[in-house]
Every structure is written in C-alpha cells, then in structure tokens.
A and B are shown apart, each in its own frame.
Chain A
Amino acid sequence: NAGVTQTPKFQVLKTGQSMTLQCAQDMNHEYMSWYRQDPGMGLRLIHYSVGAGITDQGEVPNGYNVSRSTTEDFPLRLLSAAPSQTSVYFCASSPPRQGSGRTEAFFGQGTRLTVV
C-alpha cells in the first residue's frame, strides 16, 4: 500500500522561483492537508481540503496556493519562494469521520525545501 506519497523529497530553490510540491494518496480519503515543520514549532497547518473542489486556509497560508481537482491529489504551490519558506513540508490525509469517532491522519515522508 502506497499511502500518502510526496515528491520531491528534497528541493533547493532560489529566492523568487516558483514550484509545486506534489501529494497523492490512494486511500480514497476525503480530507487532505499540508503542514510545515520548523524547529521548536511543531507542525503548522498551511492549507486543507475537505473534498475535491473545496480548499481552505490554515494557520500559515501566505505565499502558498493549493487546488484539489481530484480526490487523490493535493498539490502545494509556492508562488515566489522566500528564505522564510525553508522548511520541511508534510502532506496528510484522513478518512471520513465515523459517528463520534475522531480519525487519525496519515502522513507522507515529507519534502525538505531550502530557499537560498
């Protein structure tokens, strides 16, 4: 089972460049999200999606765009990279909520991005 797949694993960008971080899941999860991980700050939510065609902002959305044209894919776009966006990025997906249960998130292996 592939689970959540992120590409690339590593990337170096120059300030001002744009790029797209890819995320795909094969579990038919409706909910997907992007986090960034910075030392001492845990994981902070960038954007999330509750289903195809529906996206919303998280805690730190500035400088990032997302779209959700299919259930499987949730790419994250950096419009004009800045050194402050140097971080490790994680994509996650969650299955539908069942009753009063709270479901866990499944994470990709991360993309380590450096902006110089």
Chain B
Amino acid sequence: GDSVTQMEGPVTLSEEAFLTINCTYTATGYPSLFWYVQYPGEGLQLLLKATKADDKGSNKGFEATYRKETTSFHLEKGSVQVSDSAVYFCALLSGSARQLTFGSGTQLTVLP
C-alpha cells in the first residue's frame, strides 16, 4: 500500500537558518504530493503541492520538488523565521484514491 516516510523530529533551528525536511514515499502509479502545515492549536493547511514528476511546488518561501527517480519530495526553505514554527506533514494522493496518506509529521521550532 501507499506510505510516506518523513524525517523524524523535533527539529530546532535558529532564525535565518536553512531548513530541509526529508520526505520519501511509496505508491503505485503517479501520485500527487503535498506538504501541509499545522500551526499550534489549528487544523492543517495546505502549504504546497506538486502533481507530476519534476514539478516544483512553492509557497511562503518554502519549496519542494517532485523527484520520481528517488521517490522524494523534500521540503526546503532558505531562511526560516520564528513564525515558521509548526508541525509539517508530507502527504500523497494516488490513483483513484480520494484519501490522503500522511507521514508522521515533523515538529519545527525556530528560535530567535
């Protein structure tokens, strides 16, 4: 079945540091890939997505590239801010499925 493996957290960075959160997946066919973000006390919000190989999703300074050859969708940001502190989830949607398969989430804390 489908699965998503995320880099385990928690991750603690200083403001303006470079961020990478690794995500790899297993799925049949050609899934769409997503990064969701959950701020404290809130629901999940879509951060970015990519629907086919080599697509790059980007939003709010975050980027992730759909790499089919390595089955990866790593999240990166060049300079994190305190306001980026949240839990980040990698997810996929494959084939005819309508439900997302989530990774376990990575807690990011950015210190001033």
Is A108's CB within 8 Å of the partner chain B?
Answer: yes
Number of A-B contacts (CB under 8 A): 57
Q: Is the CB of B44 within 8 A of A42?
A: no
State whether A104 touches B43 (Cβ < 8 A): no
Contact of B104 among A4, A31, A42, A110 (CB under 8 A): A42
Q: A43 at the A/B interface (Cβ < 8 Å)? A: yes
Chain B residues positioned under 8 Å from A104 (CB to CB)? 34, 46, 49
B43 touches A42 (CB 8 A): no
How many residues does chain A have at the interface if contact means C-beta atoms less than 8 Å apart? 28
A101 within 8 A of B: yes
A92 to B89, CA, bound (A): 15
Provide the bound-state CA to CA distance between A8 and B93, in Å: 29
User: B100 near A: Cβ within 8 Å?
Assistant: yes
Q: Is B24's beta carbon under 8 Å from chain A?
A: no
What is the distance, in angstroms, from A99's C-beta to the closest C-beta of chain B?
Answer: 11
The complex places the Cα of A56 from the Cα of B34 at a distance, in Å, of 24
Smallest CB–CB gap between A6 and chain B, Å? 8
Contact with A along B29-73 (1 / 0, CB 8 A): 001101010000111111001010000000000000000000000
How far is it, in angstroms, between the C-alpha of A40 and the C-alpha of B41 when the chains are bound?
A: 17
A102 near B104 with CB under 8 A, answer no
Q: Is A94 an interface residue (CB 8 A)?
A: yes
Question: A-B pairs with the 8 shortest C-beta distances?
Answer: A102-B32, A107-B43, A42-B102, A42-B104, A107-B44, A109-B43, A43-B102, A102-B93
Instruction: Give the interface of B toward A (CB within 8 A).
Output: 4, 6, 31-32, 34, 36, 41-46, 49, 51, 89, 93, 98-100, 102-105
Task: Knowing that A105-B44, A109-B43 touch, tell me 19 more A-B residue pairs with CB under 8 angstroms.
Answer: A35-B102, A40-B104, A40-B105, A42-B6, A42-B104, A42-B105, A43-B100, A90-B43, A92-B100, A94-B98, A100-B51, A101-B51, A103-B93, A104-B46, A107-B44, A108-B43, A109-B42, A110-B42, A110-B43
